[in-house]
Amino acid sequence: MKLTIVQAVAYSATGRTDQVVHTLAEAAAEALALPMTYHSFTKPAERAEALRFSETDLVIIGTPTYAGRVPNKILPDFQKLQGGGALAVPVVTFGNRAYDNSLAELCAVLEAGGFHTVAAGAFAGRHAFTDQLAEGRPDWDDKREIQAFAKKTAAKVLALTELPAERIQVPGDPDAPYYEPKGIDGELVKFLKAKPRTDLSKCCNCGVCARACPMGAINAAHVEEVPGTCIKCHACIRKCTRRAKFFDDPAFLSHVAMLEASFQERKENEIFL
């Protein structure tokens, strides 16, 4: 098969998925001796127009796992991607709990959009909610795994003489329910309406949080106001240089405490070829 370029697409509110996708795409491009281009898919303006690909593209497409699936508010934008017969490598990241059904869902979405999946992977990355889970990941060991995965993917692609008849097989059910969060007491908790708060004694109203928000939910003129939909991605908290953003919703904090208490053991990456 004739390929001319490796293209990378990543929704990455806090940067960990971006690291994985970049590493994978760069290593694949090097192994295939092809140029590589990157499309950020994080900010609203970057998702405004559907990206179109062709049968001469190898496309690495990544997203973090939210509640065990592809982020539901970003899902429609992934569904707008036009594969055009391109080969695709779907990738998800997860914060040391589990990726559940997110990889299966991403594979199904891409296949429905005209891509042909040839490999897939799930990689651990620092949890958006806390530094206590997978801090520092993807680390150097992860990077070596990702690069080795890229080389195996490149070898598989080079050996193809025709498009694969079926999508890559991965665990999970793309139609499964979302993960239901629990609190530290083991009971189900709900925090859909929770939004970040602002410590006005620290905030200088620079607007970096509003610019970072993948939902455009923060009022850029008065950043303590969050009139839009918050998806708890923590981009505003991670990007604030003054540490002025925080969550204080009791149910949300109880869920974070449960995650920290239950998922400290290092989780391994999983690849599918």
Q: What is the pLDDT of residues 209-234, one digit of tens each?
A: 999 999 999 999 999 999 999 999 99
Q: At 124, list the tokens.
A: 């651990």
Q: Please give the average per-residue pLDDT across 224-250, as a whole number.
A: 97
Q: Are the C-beta atoms of 71 and 63 separated by less than 8 Å?
A: yes
Q: Are the C-beta atoms of 31 and 159 separated by less than 8 Å?
A: no
Q: Domain limits of the chain?
A: 5-177, 197-248
C-beta neighbour count of 31 within 10 angstroms: 18
Radius of gyration of the chain measured on its C-alpha atoms: 19
Q: Please give the average per-residue pLDDT across 120-132, as a whole number.
A: 98
Pairing assessment for the beta strands 197-198 and 245-246 based on DSSP bridges: antiparallel
User: Could you give the count of Cα atoms lying within 13 Å of 117 in the half-sphere of its Cβ?
Assistant: 27
Task: Mention the CATH class of domain 197-248.
Answer: alpha beta
Q: At 114, list the tokens.
A: 């005209």
Q: Are the C-beta atoms of 63 and 70 separated by less than 8 Å?
A: yes
Q: Are the C-beta atoms of 102 and 152 separated by less than 8 Å?
A: no
The confidence score (pLDDT) of residue 163 equals 85
pLDDT surpassing 90 at residue 167: no
5-177, CATH topology level: Rossmann fold (3.40.50)
Per the model's pLDDT, the better-predicted residue between 162 and 227 turns out to be: 227
Q: What is the pLDDT of residues 131-141, one digit of tens each?
A: 999 999 999 99
